Structure 1
């Protein structure tokens, strides 16, 4: 190497030494340490500023949104309503302690000791978010609660920082139990279930309070990946993973002394039930919910209250009896209708209300074919006439008021009236001469037989004897609404308006020996912040027991040997009354056993509910009447509702009121009146509710009853001279234009 080369090498070495010395002087350990602490202090300052800046916000809209739950009387869910969130918040003390521990063991073993955050996990989550690796776990239960309740699920750095700050503050403000309760009530478990109560129902069909350890461990395990771990839809890998997490949760419980090793060894994985579609308003559900909501309004729970959600409404409806009623309507009516091919069948609407006569609880209700197809509830609508189901109330009023006939005889079951068709009533300022069904004349007939065959002329005269105003008052006392209720003789044929609900209340009162029964469908209404105990209806005596029991005795005759024979069976003791309104627009059967009162009706509804039409021709059966479809539905339902029958009988007292006059003499009986054979009509011959438009050419009349009492109203013939206050030749008061109502 020459001298020149040596000099160049020496210069380069000098430059390298100078550079190295400069770097060492710039990055001394003191400077590096100072920089580190500076960054730390800066971060701490920034975090302190962030801590002061970030307040605990109000809950997000979805976190507090809950559904309302409607339940059958046995606690099973009927329906959920709300704004799309299947959640029902429960207090932590409603969740078994070991189930609480299962959630802590699965998600955050140090929950009861930490300060609400996991710095390592949060840092890892921040780095993963920045690097684009997506959502990562590692958060504490407090952090997850804050994310669910106060923030959103957005995987952003700002959200993670807010979560960290708010979690620290929440841990200072709330107890661990409050945080845990918030967590399990806001978490999403899959199957559309938010919160542990909805999850318990969705996966195991039970309430949260009834969860066992194995079930709780599964629900806790679900939270890591709800869709992947849902046993019904999980792949084999998903099932393997969730069982491993379930076992991991139990091991942690043992480690934390929340479960013994022997207890753990006995546990088996509890496979969840298959998912069920959320209950909607289809079928009868909507009618039941609607009826409950109407009652809630009366109890002070407004639509606005319900809109907020979080309510549990328990109905009085018995699930098995509800199913029996629906089946009876399907089997006895709907299966026989051709709604698509028959104009008449398309107009038929069925309604029914079934009541416990001892308590007034509505145990079953039928509102129509389907709530989403027909929004008007046929069980509670009051725009049709109850027809001859009102006649027992006329008798009840006569008995209660100790009314007498025009000749002063006390009215009772053996009292004899003139059953001549179109016979003008006597003693009324309003003329009325109703036609019997098929224009059939019965001549002298006892009240019992008149009830059996629903003889219009008898009850038209009876209400005059009682007075329409007195009969109306008795009806109101029994529960019939004061709706389009004229105080005229024609009201004896049920020309006011009432619903099956109303008439079920009136008949249940008769069934309950005259003690008032008010139907109600709401058993309880509970909210976390409020409980509503429905006001119990007063149980005063509406009419005397003697009057009620005497009517019941009369109505057993209708079922045993009258127009209600379709409801007759040896499986139970029954009383009832048929009814068909003018022009066959409605057909009714109201009946009861010692344990159950039920009213069934058919309505002819045209033009979208704006018009009442005739039921004649329903299912090609000719004239629809109360002794037909309604009575058969009633009988089928009652048999099912009573579990195949009942040995209970009516406990009747003092049912023989009423004078029994001496046998008639030939001069007492009109010589031109035809006689009737002594045999009772067969069901096929039985009057079918509404009289035909054309009078029979040869009407028959019934003979005097076997005890041969005297006719207690003035003797009359088919063609009577005008009575005082009547116009000669006028047909009298004719409801709806022709007065053709019956049975």
Structure 2
């Protein structure tokens, strides 16, 4: 009869075809006695439901087999996963532009991130993050056993493979892995976390985590978050503000207090918890905690795009300057990671913008006058004798009007060019003391373009061109050397006109306009951005004569009140006899040299549109518009008063 050996069935056998032997059954099966191997499941010696309950031996074998498979799988993944497999997006940084005073102007790039060393992150913020995100950070092996178990349970339930990850695991997710939640990704996260803990210091991991985490408001990393929420660098955050940033790690979309009343309540509660948790773990004393009872309200979330308004024009000018001076290509600059300190004065930029928009509102009526449509204004202001570009107006909005009116090279300058003709004449014959300067000065005041046309021919058009270029205008903006050349057919930008007039202000010493003072990439300064050196462009006596004539122009064309409210002013402008479809006013004081241009342009049309009737003017110049912008900006008076 069949006998059982453990849980396996065997049948004793005699010779082939003979029945089983009678008598005592051996204690164990002889060699070759098995007829078949069969796992006893369902269990044959049990009845009912118990047949389906495995024995403890079966449970043990199954558990050991599963454990061996898991260990083998983990070992395989651990041996094959590479730390060097870094997600490039996690390393991407924006280019950050700063105002002249060092405050951040804008962060430009696909990822708003600026990596900073751990030394620039206050210890109070570090402690707040550790206290709330991973209290055992300095002692754990890079992963949480409890979190791993939770992930396995969730997987078994068919839910997302999530868990309360450690800081190391979160850094791995931010840096090395794609965002989907799968068992394979979770296993790779675990192995990478262990490897990372063995190869990097805790300080390096914490630094990486704080530089890659998302804080809401499109801010990645604590530096971008500090600017987005408080308009300051991370190193300047106090424990209260740092506690809110630590709270945002729970979910920027849930705890940004500016989004709604519910968000604000959650943010206040979470902020208080972060501070209390630090007291509980000994990072903050009760006395220190007692100082922070008022919620540190962040600044409102900006709804405009970062490049809107004048910012895009400023960035455009700065980028051009960097590429010209350093040799960087557009592609290289676009890779990000650059810190760019500009010369732009935030207050002056805003003042110039408001002045232009006020003049448009008080002087133009496009709803009633067709001529007032498609009117464009460009302006730039530099520091004479230095060349720093302090402000510019490129158009109403860089995200909608893409041409930078302050840096365009397509608007004829008209008789605002005649000071360079006068300077060339004085340099080459009609020098001071010869009597001719008085005649030239009167002609400049009257805007006698005909006289200056003849003068340019007499001096030599090439000499006029060379002097204009030597004073700061770009060679590519010079018109062909034809009889009309001295009357202003060239098309310099407002930036270059303001800089070239600054040469007269500086007694004939030229300093090229510059818009960037320093650039660093990943902490390394770039060469080639030293401030342009001043050099002699004109004889000092010639520059003085031209400046005297330009002061007479200013007195002649500006309102007496404006003259009295300014230090000595020198200015040039387009005149009534000009044949160019644009109006200019360029002038300087000891503090600023500012150029303003007004023209009409419409996308899809070639060249400039006529200026006839703009602003209700009977002339075809509308030259009062650039004068109003210039005088209102330079005097600080409202546009309505400047218009009078």
Q: TM-score, normalising length from structure 2? A: 0.83
Secondary structure of the 2:116 match is: coil
Pick one of 273, 276, 285 that aligns with 2:299: 273
- Report deviation, 1:146: 0.8
> Take 1:233 and 1:473, find their aligned partners in 2: how far apart are those partners?
59
Secondary structure of the 1:504 match is: helix
Pick one of 572, 579, 585 that aligns with 1:583: 579
What is the CA deviation profile of residues 378-424 of structure 1, one whole-angstrom value per residue up to 9, with x for unaligned ones? 222222321211222222223334x13xxxxx455x8258xxxxxxx
> Take 1:565 and 1:492, find their aligned partners in 2: how far apart are those partners?
30
> Take 1:335 and 1:328, find their aligned partners in 2: how far apart are those partners?
11
Pick one of 345, 352, 360 that aligns with 1:318: 345
8 Å CA contact retained: 1:583, 1:614:
no
Residues 229 and 372 (structure 1), Cα distance of their counterparts in 2 relative to 1, 3 Å cut? closer
> Take 2:450 and 2:432, find their aligned partners in 1: how far apart are those partners?
15
Aligned to 2:330: 303
> Take 1:454 and 1:29, find their aligned partners in 2: how far apart are those partners?
109
Aligned to 1:49: 76
> Take 1:606 and 1:152, find their aligned partners in 2: how far apart are those partners?
47
Residues 378 and 146 (structure 1), Cα distance of their counterparts in 2 relative to 1, 3 Å cut? same
Residues 313 and 130 (structure 1), Cα distance of their counterparts in 2 relative to 1, 3 Å cut? farther
> Take 1:270 and 1:383, find their aligned partners in 2: how far apart are those partners?
50
Residues 471 and 641 (structure 1), Cα distance of their counterparts in 2 relative to 1, 3 Å cut? farther
Higher RCO structure, 1 or 2 (CA under 8 Å, sep 6+): 1
8 Å CA contact retained: 1:146, 1:167:
yes
Residues 461 and 30 (structure 1), Cα distance of their counterparts in 2 relative to 1, 3 Å cut? closer
What is the CA deviation profile of residues 431-467 of structure 1, one whole-angstrom value per residue up to 9, with x for unaligned ones? xxxxxxxxxxxxxx73332222222344345435543
Aligned to 1:253: 278
Pick one of 567, 571, 577 that aligns with 2:566: 571
Q: TM-score, normalising length from structure 1? A: 0.73
Secondary structure of the 1:503 match is: helix
Structure 1 window deviating more from structure 2 (528-537 vs 342-351): it is 528-537
Matches within 5 A, 1:342-353: 342-353=369-380
Tell me whether 1:128 sits opposite 2:124 in the alignment: no
Aligned to 1:195: 221
8 Å CA contact retained: 2:414, 2:579:
no
Aligned to 1:93: 119
8 Å CA contact retained: 2:258, 2:264:
no
Aligned to 2:164: 138
**Structure 1 alignment gaps of length 5 or more:** 1-17, 405-409, 418-444, 643-682, 685-743
**Structure 2 alignment gaps of length 5 or more:** 1-44
Aligned to 2:435: 415
Residues 173 and 617 (structure 1), Cα distance of their counterparts in 2 relative to 1, 3 Å cut? same
Aligned to 1:463: 456
> Take 2:519 and 2:629, find their aligned partners in 1: how far apart are those partners?
32
Aligned to 1:158: 184
8 Å CA contact retained: 1:505, 1:518:
yes
Pick one of 287, 291, 296 that aligns with 2:317: 291
- Report deviation, 1:596: 0.2
Residues 131 and 19 (structure 1), Cα distance of their counterparts in 2 relative to 1, 3 Å cut? closer
Residues 560 and 201 (structure 1), Cα distance of their counterparts in 2 relative to 1, 3 Å cut? same
Secondary structure of the 1:354 match is: strand
> Take 1:452 and 1:337, find their aligned partners in 2: how far apart are those partners?
27
Tell me whether 1:81 sits opposite 2:81 in the alignment: no
Pick one of 580, 587, 592 that aligns with 1:596: 592
> Take 1:574 and 1:294, find their aligned partners in 2: how far apart are those partners?
31
Matches within 5 A, 1:163-562: 163-233=189-259, 235-236=261-262, 239-268=264-293, 269-298=295-324, 299-401=326-428, 403-404=429-430, 410-411=431-432, 415=435, 446-464=439-457, 466-482=459-475, 483-487=477-481, 490-528=484-522, 530-533=524-527, 534-562=529-557
Residues 263 and 574 (structure 1), Cα distance of their counterparts in 2 relative to 1, 3 Å cut? same
Secondary structure of the 1:382 match is: coil
Secondary structure of the 2:79 match is: helix
Structure 1 window deviating more from structure 2 (376-385 vs 62-71): it is 62-71
User: In angstroms, what is the RMSD of aligned CA positions?
Assistant: 3.2
> Take 1:43 and 1:362, find their aligned partners in 2: how far apart are those partners?
65
What is the CA deviation profile of residues 647-691 of structure 1, one whole-angstrom value per residue up to 9, with x for unaligned ones? xxxxxxxxxxxxxxxxxxxxxxxxxxxxxxxxxxxx99xxxxxxx
Residues 584 and 540 (structure 1), Cα distance of their counterparts in 2 relative to 1, 3 Å cut? closer
> Take 2:591 and 2:109, find their aligned partners in 1: how far apart are those partners?
36
- Report deviation, 1:34: 7.4
- Report deviation, 1:585: 0.4
> Take 2:564 and 2:623, find their aligned partners in 1: how far apart are those partners?
14
- Report deviation, 1:338: 3.0
Secondary structure of the 2:473 match is: coil
- Report deviation, 1:133: 5.0
Secondary structure of the 2:536 match is: coil
8 Å CA contact retained: 1:563, 1:627:
no
> Take 2:268 and 2:466, find their aligned partners in 1: how far apart are those partners?
70
> Take 2:66 and 2:453, find their aligned partners in 1: how far apart are those partners?
102
> Take 2:79 and 2:167, find their aligned partners in 1: how far apart are those partners?
23
> Take 1:328 and 1:208, find their aligned partners in 2: how far apart are those partners?
35
Residues 138 and 495 (structure 1), Cα distance of their counterparts in 2 relative to 1, 3 Å cut? closer
